[in-house]
Structures are given as structure tokens and as C-alpha cells.
Amino acid sequence: MNCKVADIISKARATQHLTKQEIVSLLGDNDINDRLFAAADQVRAENVGEAVHLRGLIEFSNICRQNCFYCGLRRDNAGIRRYRLEPDTILAFAAKAKAYGYKTLVLQSGEDDFYTTDRLQQIISGIKALGLVITLSIGEKSRAEYAAYRQAGADRYLLRIETTDRRLYAALHPGMSWENRRRCLWDLKELGYEVGTGCLVGLPNQSLEALADDILFFQELDADMVGLGPFIPNADTPLRSAQGGSFTASLKVMAITRLLLPDANIPATTAMETLNKNGRIIALQSGANVAMPNVTEGEYRQLYALYPGKICINDTPAHCRGCISGKITSIGRTVAGDFGFRVKRAAAKRV
């Protein structure tokens, strides 16, 4: 083992601070993977405990006005059948999710203009009346819209930066602005949301330096949640022939993020399990403390086609709840019984 790289892991544990080059060194050295993952798991245990927080995911529309090159929901993809759920259906799914024991719901969709501020406020208010915590993942909005959702009761917002490499961002997001993406995240933070972000790992022309910048960006934002996973090429997108990301690289980005943000909530993502049949278990043993089972019902699970090979699309919400709970207990962990807000720890002295 490279002693210098091993020392970097020790430094990260002690200070929650690394330079960009130190992060690149960790990302580029696969001989230290086991030590890195073990360190992230220990930091997870020390800072957020053994309980795994479950967030029930409702995918309520696959219609999107954006045209991101990597996403199966992109506006110009004519290869999928579009859908959107009526507010009453969303509320019915939410009530069932509560009956399954979920404390938090994640409402996720493409950027669908059908859901006006008034409609979303009604949906949020209805779910809050059930006593649930709400995470929104519905893309770029104005500060006024974010404020309206917050006033209606939304607690958290997930908006992945996807990449902090501005050239790469511009190449993959036609008609979009990296600066506006960043503005959205800071607006959300100032409005009092728990803010989640994240990135895709393994995008075409993405360097280790860019991934290091992503991790440092999560720390700059002091993100409450960080969701990341491998880029998986979709045949219905311009990146259909791209190589795609790896499970191991995604796991390494996640583990380093845990070292630098020890008290953040970090999910074991379904995309990881698409590449590795034990992906979520391995992620939970390498720094993750959250899972997001799908509580959408019926054919909609198959129609929310972000990427090919997505797991659990033929399962029921009840089955998903039992499956992930079994996986959690199989590794000696427990399912959390609280709402899972981030509890910030005193930061170590940074050097």
C-alpha cells in the first residue's frame, strides 16, 4: 500500500479536509480501496449511527422540458410513453407509503410544467397533513417557487449538480446554465431547506480532477444529503454508445464524500445495484446510511426510465419495503424510526 495515500485517508478522518490533489490521489489508487471503504464505514458509524433511514420514492411524472444528453426522460426522447399522476393519485400513494411505515417521502419528476405552484402546494399540504416529511426532487425553479413550496411544508430538496466541470455541464445540458443550477442550490439553502445534491460518476470526458471538484463542491455547500451513482448509458439518448461509469468508482466518490461530510445523509442508490447485485448492501457498508425504496405503483415504475436495467420495476411497494428491510438487518443494521434529519456534529479543526 502506498503509505502516502494511506496517510491521506488518516488525514481526512482527523480533519474532514483534503486538497483537490489528495482527493485525486485517492480516486486514482485502487490498492487502497478496502481501507478507504472501511474508513468511510467507521466514520458513518461514529457520526450517523447504525440505523438506515428509508425514504419512500414517488415518481409522479416522466415528462420533462429539459433535454439532458444522459437522461431517458429528456424532452426529445420519443421512445418512451409519457405519464403524469393526478394530485389525488399522489396523495393516495403517500397514504399507502405511510401505512408501510415510511416517515419521509421523496416526490420526484421531470421538469413538468403541468404542476404549477398552486398544484404543488396542494400536494405538499396534503402530504404534510399525513404527518410525513417531504423531499422534493423536481428540478430548477425560481426562488419564489422554492419559497412557496417551503411555505406549504416541504422540508428537503434534492438537486444534483451532476458535474462541476462547467465545460462538461454545458456539453451535456443544452439550453441550461451551470450558474443557474448553482443559484438554485444556494437559494434552497437560504430558504431553510435541507439541501441535497450529487453527481454522476463516469460521464464521458469526466476527469478525476472534475470528480475531486465535485466532492469539494459538496463540502462547500455543506450539503445535508449527497446522492450519487454511476452514469449508465441509455439507448434512447445521444450518449447511447458511451462507456458508462463503474460501480467501484462511484463507491469511492461516495466514501470520500463521507469522510469529508461525516454527518451528511448519503443514500445507497439504486443505480449502484443496477451494476452490482449487492450494490446497496456494499454501499451501506462503505459509508451510506439511507435507502430510497420505490413506493410508486403499477406500470409507472417501468415508465420512469432514467436508465436501462433499473432495479425493482416489476415489484410492489410492499415487496420493496420488505426486501430492503431484510438487506439492512442482514448486515446487522436497523431501520430508523425517526424522520432522519441531519444532525450536525462539531466539525474537527481543519488544517
Phi then psi for residue 301, to 5 deg, are: -60, -35
- For residue 349, pLDDT beyond 50: no
Question: Where in the chain are the domains?
Answer: 3-334
pLDDT tier for residue 2 given thresholds of 50, 70 and 90: low
Q: Which amino acid would we find at residue 39?
A: A
Q: Say what the pLDDT of residue 346 is.
A: 62
Which pTM value belongs to this model? 0.96
Are 56 and 302 a contacting pair, CB within 8 Å? no
- Give the CATH number of domain 3-334: 3.20.20.70
Q: How far is CA 79 from the centre of its chain?
A: 25
Please enumerate, by residue number, every residue annotated as part of a binding site for [4Fe-4S] cluster.
Answer: 64, 68, 71
pLDDT tier for residue 345 given thresholds of 50, 70 and 90: confident
Q: For strand 200-201 and strand 194-197, is the pairing parallel, antiparallel, or unpaired? A: unpaired
Supply 68's cell numbers: 439532458
Q: What is the pLDDT of residues 317-338, one digit of tens each?
A: 999 999 999 999 999 999 999 9
Helix, strand and coil content of the chain, in percent to the nearest 5, comes to: 45, 15, 45
Ramachandran region of residue 175, left (φ > 0), alpha (ψ -120 to 50) or beta? left
Q: What is the pLDDT of residues 272-317, one digit of tens each?
A: 999 999 999 999 999 999 999 999 999 999 999 999 999 999 899 9
Please enumerate, by residue number, every residue annotated as part of a binding site for (3R)-3-methyl-D-ornithine.
Answer: 137
pLDDT tier for residue 1 given thresholds of 50, 70 and 90: low
Please enumerate, by residue number, every residue annotated as part of a binding site.
Answer: 64, 68, 71, 137, 162, 181
Q: Which residues contact 286 (CB under 8 A, 6 or more apart)?
A: 37, 40, 41, 251, 254, 255, 258
Please enumerate, by residue number, every residue annotated as part of a binding site for S-adenosyl-L-methionine.
Answer: 162, 181
As a whole number, the mean pLDDT across the chain is 96
Are 133 and 127 a contacting pair, CB within 8 Å? no
pLDDT tier for residue 348 given thresholds of 50, 70 and 90: very low
User: Count of CB atoms within 10 A of residue 74's CB?
Assistant: 21
**What is the rounded distance in angstroms from the CA atom of residue 52 to the CA atom of residue 291?**
7
Are 325 and 101 a contacting pair, CB within 8 Å? no
